[in-house]
Structures are given as C-alpha cells and as structure tokens.
C-alpha cells in the first residue's frame, strides 16, 4: 500500500471492546462512543456489538451515529440552531442542553423527548487547561444548581463531563463522591446520568473491578441508568499512521522527513505539544522525525531507535486512532492518508483513499 495511511487493527480494537463489555455485564452501565474522538464508521459493525450507541457534539455527528452505528443516539451541542433542533428531534434518543437559556428556548420543540442538561460541577481531572471543562470562565455546562431545580420535572437526566485522560481510579472515585453529595436532590429526581468520557479504564493494570463496584454502588444508590462516553478508551492502541521516509537531512541532528504531517494528520499532538509514539525498539540511532509540511514546528518527535533509517524506510506511529482522522486536514495540500482496516480474519481492506479532487472540493 502507498503511504501515508491509517491502519486500524480490529483485533486490537476488540481488546478494548472486551473490557467495555466486561464493565457492562458486571455493573450494568451503558457505553456510548464519543464521535468527537473517533468517527471511522467502517469499524462500527464491530463496535456496536459491544457498545450501546453514540454521543455527539453536533448535528452531523448525531446523524452519523444514527445512520452508521444505530442503537441510542445522544445529541449534545454547546449551542444549537433552530434548524438543528428540528432535525435532531427526529433522529435522537436524547437531547442534552448546555445551558438553561437553550433549554428554555427549545423546550417546546423537544418536550416529548428525553431531555438532559449538562452540569459543570466545578471540579475536573485534566492535564491541560485547554481541555479542562471546569477551567476558569468555562462555558461548558450549568454552574448554578439553583437554575436546574425549577425545571427538574421537565428533564429526565443530566450529563457531567469532568475528565480528560484520567487513568487515576482514586481521583475519579473522589470526584464521583463529591458529585453524589453535591447534587443528591437532582440525582434522586432523574432517570439517567451520563458521566461523560475521559476515563482511561482500558489502560493496562487499571483496577476494573473496583471501577465496576464504584459505578454499581452509585447506580444503585439513586436507581439511575448510568452512561459512560469513552472516546480514547474505546480505541486506544488500535491504529497506526504508516509513513515513508522521503529524505534525511542534517542540522546538528539527523532529521528524517516523512510523507505525512503532524499538523495535518495528528493535529491533537501538536496542539498539546506531545510527542507521537513510535512503533520502534529503542536503540542508539538518534533521529528527529519531521513532517513534510512547510510548518517549521511540524515535528513528530525525537527518538533513539535500533535501526538506521534511510530514504524509503517505513515509520509507524502508534496509537493513531483518537483525534486524528476526525481532525485531519488539507494543510499544504499534502496527500491525505488513506484509511485501511485489518479485519479480525487478518485481511486488510482499504476503505477510503483521497485524491486531488477531494482537495479541490474542500475549498
């Protein structure tokens, strides 16, 4: 196959899905795939066997979830337009509002639906201020509990999204206790709750049984239907970005230039100033691996590896599923990576490739 391409391995994806299914069976919570993180619908036929639906951040994501994934479709937006609500009410299982003003504006349109409100509890777990939903002056969710109490009889559930890459069970447990105590009156009055995403429960050695026990106690205490909305946790370790070295230049260090771009193809890493993970054994050969765009900072990272690179060498960046394909762009008109899937039977299927016509049609 010609590089660059994303290669999703369904066997690795299944490892995460089996952990999700274990939690479903042991504590009765439901799982919704967060489409903002991963929307590659060609693997949805596998994923929807182990998950209960999708959660969205826009009309288009909700439509994709309804059409390609099926099951439950939860609609959320920081702010809706009237025409979006008109369409969402026909395809969504639940609609969630970010503010009381939006709830009041559209209530008459959706009063026959399962309606939820997003609450900002003022606490969160995030390594980055950029992604912290409880950051100072956050616009995400309702801060004042007193705004919610007068409309409790008109909603059926609430959503909390207060984690980002949280792999610390103890921190999650403490925060859930705080939410439980602070919002007891609300929790006793509703049917369902979403605890959002950002919980890294598929990480190796994560205490899944303790996680199940904690969720079950919370669920049973309030007799609630509990939803989790994993993005990264559902697809971590399941994809590689496969590239080819086009040139090696020297500027104090050896710089291997590949036929992909962190700006265009792994943008989240550039945004958060993180190094891409390289599928290589560590060794003595030192390289800066850089993208082929004109952006000076288009750098995947610096690595020490066993093999010596040359023009034509393939380099694979691991953990390339989340916040990559949903963010890829045509910066510099660089060739967009194809999307390929290694199915459970070992066969590789190219499900999408891109051409100059796709580049032209974007603008």
Per-residue pLDDT of 41-54, as tens digits, reads: 999 999 999 999 99
- Which pLDDT value is given to residue 30? 98
- Which pLDDT value is given to residue 139? 96
Give the closest residue to 132 by CA, choosing from 164, 169, 179, 178.
164
Q: Whole-number mean pLDDT of the chain?
A: 97
* Beta-strand pair 30-34/314-318: unpaired
> Burial letters for 103-122: b for 16+ Cβ neighbours within 10 Å, e otherwise?
beebeeebeebbbbbbbbbe
Query: Residue 137: which pLDDT band, with cuts at 50, 70 and 90?
Result: very high
Arithmetic mean of pLDDT, 309-327: 97
d(CA 13, CA 30): 18
* Residue limits of CATH 2.40.37.10 in the chain: 239-320+328-361
Query: Residue 130: which pLDDT band, with cuts at 50, 70 and 90?
Result: very high
Arithmetic mean of pLDDT, 287-295: 98
* Residue limits of CATH 3.20.20.10 in the chain: 10-235
- Which pLDDT value is given to residue 198? 96
Query: Residue 25: which pLDDT band, with cuts at 50, 70 and 90?
Result: very high
- The domain over range 10-235 is classified in CATH as 1.20.120.140: no
Arithmetic mean of pLDDT, 285-311: 97
Structure pTM? 0.96
Residue 303, SS3 per DSSP:
strand
Query: Residue 231: which pLDDT band, with cuts at 50, 70 and 90?
Result: very high
Query: Residue 278: which pLDDT band, with cuts at 50, 70 and 90?
Result: very high
Evaluate whether 326 touches 39 at the Cβ level (below 8 Å).
yes
Evaluate whether 195 touches 157 at the Cβ level (below 8 Å).
no
* Six token digits for residue 213: 């026990």
pLDDT tens digits, one per residue of 56-112: 999 999 999 999 999 999 999 999 999 999 999 999 999 999 999 999 999 999 999
Give the closest residue to 141 by CA, choosing from 124, 129, 153.
124
Q: Residue 166 has what DSSP assignment?
A: B
Query: Residue 344: which pLDDT band, with cuts at 50, 70 and 90?
Result: very high
- Which pLDDT value is given to residue 290? 98
Q: What percent of the chain has pLDDT over 90?
A: 99
- Which pLDDT value is given to residue 245? 98
Looking at the chain, list the stretches that DSSP marks H as alpha helix, in order from N- to C-terminal side: 10-27, 44-47, 59-64, 82-88, 100-110, 145-148, 169-182, 184-187, 208-222, 232-235, 262-265, 267-271, 356-361
Architecture of domain 239-320+328-361: Beta Barrel (2.40)
Query: Residue 233: which pLDDT band, with cuts at 50, 70 and 90?
Result: very high
- Which pLDDT value is given to residue 287? 98
CA angle 31–35–41, rounded 5-degree value: 100
- Which pLDDT value is given to residue 26? 96
Distant-in-sequence, close-in-space partners of 202: CB < 8 Å, separation ≥ 6: 15, 16, 19, 20, 230, 233, 234, 236
């Amino acid at each position: 196959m010609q590089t660059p391409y994303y290669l999703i391995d369904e066997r690795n994806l299944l490892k995460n899905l089996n952990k999700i299914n274990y939690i479903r069976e042991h504590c009765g919570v439901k799982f919704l795939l967060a489409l903002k993180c991963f929307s590659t619908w060609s693997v949805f036929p596998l994923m929807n066997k182990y998950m209960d639906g999708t959660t969205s951040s826009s009309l288009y994501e909700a439509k994709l979830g309804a059409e390609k994934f099926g099951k439950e479709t939860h609609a959320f937006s920081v702010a809706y337009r009237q025409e979006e609500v008109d369409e969402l009410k026909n395809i969504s299982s639940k609609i969630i509002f970010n503010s009381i003003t939006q709830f009041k504006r559209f209530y008459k349109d959706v009063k026959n639906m399962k309606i939820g409100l997003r609450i900002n509890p003022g606490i969160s777990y995030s390594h980055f201020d950029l992604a912290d939903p409880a950051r100072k002056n956050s616009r995400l969710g309702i801060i004042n509990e007193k705004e919610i109490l007068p409309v409790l009889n008109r909603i059926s559930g609430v959503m909390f999204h207060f984690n980002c890459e949280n792999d610390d069970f103890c921190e999650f447990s403490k925060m859930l206790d705080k939410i439980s105590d602070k919002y007891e009156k609300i929790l006793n009055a509703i049917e369902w709750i979403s605890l959002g995403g950002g919980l890294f429960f598929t990480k190796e050695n994560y205490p899944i049984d303790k996680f199940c026990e904690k969720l079950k106690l919370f669920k049973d205490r309030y007799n609630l239907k509990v939803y989790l909305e994993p993005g990264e946790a559902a697809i971590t370790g399941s994809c590689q970005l496969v590239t080819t070295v086009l040139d090696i230049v020297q500027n104090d260090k050896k710089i291997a230039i590949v036929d992909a771009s962190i700006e265009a193809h792994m943008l989240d890493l550039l945004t958060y100033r993180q190094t891409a993970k390289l599928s290589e054994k560590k060794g003595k050969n030192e390289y800066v691996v850089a993208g082929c765009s004109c952006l000076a900072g288009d750098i995947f990272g610096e690595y020490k590896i066993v093999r010596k690179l040359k023009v034509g060498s393939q380099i694979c960046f691991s953990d390339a599923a989340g916040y990559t394909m949903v963010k890829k762009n045509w910066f510099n008109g660089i060739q967009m990576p194809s999307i390929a899937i290694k199915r459970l039977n070992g066969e590789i299927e190219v499900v999408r490739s891109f051409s100059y016509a796709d580049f032209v049609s974007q603008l």
